[in-house]
Amino acid sequence: MKPRCLIWDWNGTLLDDLQLCLGLLNELLEQNGSPNRYDLAGYREIFGFPVVDYYRRAGLDLSKRSFESLAADYVARYNPESFACALCPGAADALAALKSAGVRQVILSASELTLLKAQTEHLGVAGYFDELLGQTDYYAHGKLAVGKEWMARQNFDPAEAVLVGDTLHDAEVAAGLGAKCVLCAAGHQSRERLLTAGVPVIGTLAELPALLGL
């Protein structure tokens, strides 16, 4: 299963921002009059894309405040605090193993591109990636569109790529690109949810090199 290219999701797959996102959601709910509060298990059952639908599931009333306003509030808090987040367990070793094996690595993220660049540089991992593919705004709309545009410029069969992520949306993006997919159950969605995608699910990134035959 050794891929020619490894397409990484960032948030929750390489960047361990799960606790930060949980805390910010509960703050947003409190500040906007929702009685809902979530523990980690509950959060992992509601998180998903599009983000606007996730906000509704969480209990935010978009008739009182627009999605754009809520998202701006969230991002204003998330961006600076995200620099305190570490890499996910096993991430550093997986990145190094793929590099040693000569596998090309890119990040395809719902994050805004400028933030993505700053985060990878801050964590000292920017050098592992041939390209960073992020969004031009902070509404987290379009990983698939960005990925398709990038894939159209490549000179290899999409089936030679593996996308590694932590959500069902990542499996959908991989299918849309024609790439294989591996999901990691250490991120923003539960193992039970991920298993419904019908692709390999690992517990942590420490399991990835062996799965890929590296």
Residues 98 and 37 occupy one common structural domain: no
Residues 128 and 65 occupy one common structural domain: no
Q: pLDDT tens for residues 147-202? A: 999 999 998 999 999 999 999 999 999 999 999 999 999 999 999 999 999 999 99
Distance CA 177, CA 147 (A): 7
Please check the confidence at residue 1 and state whether its pLDDT lies above 80: no
Residues 73 and 103 occupy one common structural domain: no
Tell me the pTM.
0.95
Q: Where does the pLDDT of residue 137 fall: very low under 50, low under 70, confident under 90, or very high at 90 and above? A: low
**Dmax (CA) of the chain:** 52
Residues 59 and 99 occupy one common structural domain: no
Which residues constitute the domain of residue 63?
18-84
Residues 193 and 101 occupy one common structural domain: yes
Q: pLDDT tens for residues 86-135? A: 999 999 999 999 999 999 999 999 899 999 999 999 999 999 999 999 98
Residues 28 and 77 occupy one common structural domain: yes
Q: pLDDT tens for residues 25-44? A: 999 999 999 999 999 999 99
Please check the confidence at residue 139 and state whether its pLDDT lies above 70: no
Tell which residue, 36, 73, 77, has the closest CA to residue 58: 36
Pairing mode, if any, of strands 161-165 and 131-135?
unpaired
Residues 28 and 60 occupy one common structural domain: yes
Distance CA 50, CA 58 (A): 13
Work out how many domains the chain is built from and give that number.
2
Residues 10 and 47 occupy one common structural domain: no
Please check the confidence at residue 78 and state whether its pLDDT lies above 80: yes
Residues 65 and 99 occupy one common structural domain: no
Q: Where does the pLDDT of residue 64 fall: very low under 50, low under 70, confident under 90, or very high at 90 and above? A: very high
Q: Where does the pLDDT of residue 141 fall: very low under 50, low under 70, confident under 90, or very high at 90 and above? A: low
Residues contacting 71, CB < 8 A, separation 6+: 51, 138, 139, 140
Question: According to the model, what pLDDT value does residue 142 have?
Answer: 78
Distance CA 156, CA 140 (A): 27
Query: Residue 20 is inside which H or E element, if any?
Result: helix 18-31
The CATH number assigned to the domain holding 201 equals 3.40.50.1000
Residues 12 and 35 occupy one common structural domain: no
Instruction: Name the burial class of residue 99, with classes exposed (0-12), middle (13-18) and buried (19+) by CB atoms within 10 angstroms of its CB.
Output: middle
Averaged pLDDT of the chain? 96
